[in-house]
Every structure is written in structure tokens, then in C-alpha cells.
Amino acid sequence: MLSLPEYAQKLSAPQRFIMPAIDPFSTTNKELSEEEIADRFAHYDIPTDLPLVVQVSRFDKWKDPQGVIDAFRLARKQVGCTLVLVGNVATDDPEGQEVFESLCRCSDEHTRILSAQDSALVNALQRRAAVVLQKSIREGFGLTVTEAMWKGTPVIGGNVGGIRHQIRDEENGFLVDSVEQAADRIVQIIKDPKLRKKLGDKARETVRERFLLTRLMEEWLDLIGAFEASFRLRGGPNDGRRGQTA
């Protein structure tokens, strides 16, 4: 079983493709009250006076966090906004701490770099962001894209991997190939509230139709049901009951 057709190999055995999905009732995805959102923002001292641009990801070069900062700085020349990068350093990534420290040097009053494993914070940010980025230059599937789309937030994603299976460019979000494209799309979304709502509504509907656990469970059940049963007669040479007679 594979998550995407791109991972298929030349094998004689049948291959099935089942994309990941999210649990809408998890701490990361459940509905939050205004008080709960305000509490998370106050705890981490996140300003709300300007539109929020958010990326949630590991501090990993393949997530291109520096590219996000560069795109944000270009966008800020045209629109006022605040950037929040939140994530963690993967224990199996020796470069992760280095990436995080280099990003921290970019922190200022309009750029917040947070290392936090706080699902409620991620939920709050994805719900209140004007735009969420997942500017990966390499990506497996990218469930943080799914999470943000479920909350009705427009997403700008790198044109790679599983992100392309979630975002239909200009229909339910934007796909980008460069820092400059990302900056242009940030400006476009922040300046146009109607576009922001249109993309967000379509994004949520996409997740409802394709990326919730109900669909995932159906496909797993279909997969299990596709196996052929194999029956063996008791008393055969491999039964382990030797010496018995009828």
C-alpha cells in the first residue's frame, strides 16, 4: 500500500494507493472558542494587530523556512503583516538545530520564530492566519496543508510531492515555485478578502470530500476486503497433529 502513485514500483504484486487523512476531532483540528485562541496567542506573545502569515513545519531545509522569510519580507513592502514560523527540531535531523538557530537570527517585531510542540497553538494559528504557507521544496504528503485547508484558511504550497494532490492552483489555494511567486500570492490574498474567503471555503470542502478519516477508513476496509481467503484442510501434513487416525 502506497500513499501516492508517484511512489509505485515495477512489481508483480498489486499496488494500492491510499492517501493520508486528518482526524477533525484531534486537538490540532477541533473547533476552538475565541477565548481559547486568545489564550494561546497571549501565552506566546503573538501580536494580532496585522494579518498573520503562518508556516507550521519542522525546522528543516526541505521545508524552506528561509524562503518563507524572504517571501514575507518582499510581501511586507506592499502589505502590513506579521510572520509566525512554528515547529520543532526533529531528533533524527542533525542539521535541524542549526536551521533553527539561523532562523532565530531573523526574528524581529514582525517575525516570530517559535519552537513549540503545542497542538492547540497550531490549531489557533491555522484558524486565525490570513494565509498559511507550506513552501516545501521537497515533501511527502504535507498534512499541515490539509489541517489549514480544513480550517478554511487559504494555503500557498510548494509545487512538489503530495501538496500538488491537495491544492488545485488558483481554485482552492496556490502552488508556487519561487520566493517571488510566494510573495506575490501573499500580497494578493491579504489585499483581497473575497478571494481569501473563496479559496478558504473551497479548501475546506476539498478536505471534507477527500482527506478526512471517514474516507481513509473506507479505503482500508476496501483493501482488507480485496484479499482472497486461503483455506487449508485440517489433518494435512503441515497441521502438526501427526500419528492421528480416523
Domains in the chain: boundaries = 5-225
**Residue in 124, 102, 121 with CA at minimum distance from that of residue 111:** 102
CB 194 within 8 A of CB 172: no
Spatial separation of the C-alpha atoms in residues 155 and 52, rounded to whole Å: 12
User: Which amino acid does the sequence have at 77?
Assistant: K
Residue 6's Cβ-side half-sphere holds a number of Cα atoms within 13 Å equal to 10
The reported pTM is 0.87
Spatial separation of the C-alpha atoms in residues 119 and 216, rounded to whole Å: 22
- pLDDT value of residue 238: 59
- pLDDT value of residue 1: 53
Neighbour tally for 18: CB within 10 Å:
16
CB 154 within 8 A of CB 166: no
> pLDDT per position in the chain (246 positions), as tens?
566 676 667 777 777 789 999 999 999 999 999 999 999 999 999 999 999 999 999 999 999 999 999 999 999 999 999 999 999 887 777 788 889 999 999 999 999 999 999 999 999 999 999 999 999 999 999 999 999 999 999 999 999 999 999 999 999 999 999 999 999 999 999 999 999 999 999 999 999 999 999 999 999 998 888 887 776 777 656 555 554 444
Spatial separation of the C-alpha atoms in residues 37 and 32, rounded to whole Å: 7
CB 173 within 8 A of CB 167: yes
Angle at 162 between CA 174 and CA 26, to 5 degrees: 90
User: Which amino acid does the sequence have at 168?
Assistant: R
Give the helix/strand (H/E) hosting 111. strand 111-115
Spatial separation of the C-alpha atoms in residues 81 and 234, rounded to whole Å: 72
Spatial separation of the C-alpha atoms in residues 57 and 136, rounded to whole Å: 9
- pLDDT value of residue 82: 98
Neighbour tally for 122: CB within 10 Å:
22
CB 27 within 8 A of CB 121: no
- pLDDT value of residue 14: 74
Q: What is the pairing mode between strands 52-56 and 131-134?
A: parallel
**CATH number for region 5-225:** 3.40.50.2000
Sign of CA dihedral 159, 140, 31, 211: positive
- pLDDT value of residue 240: 54
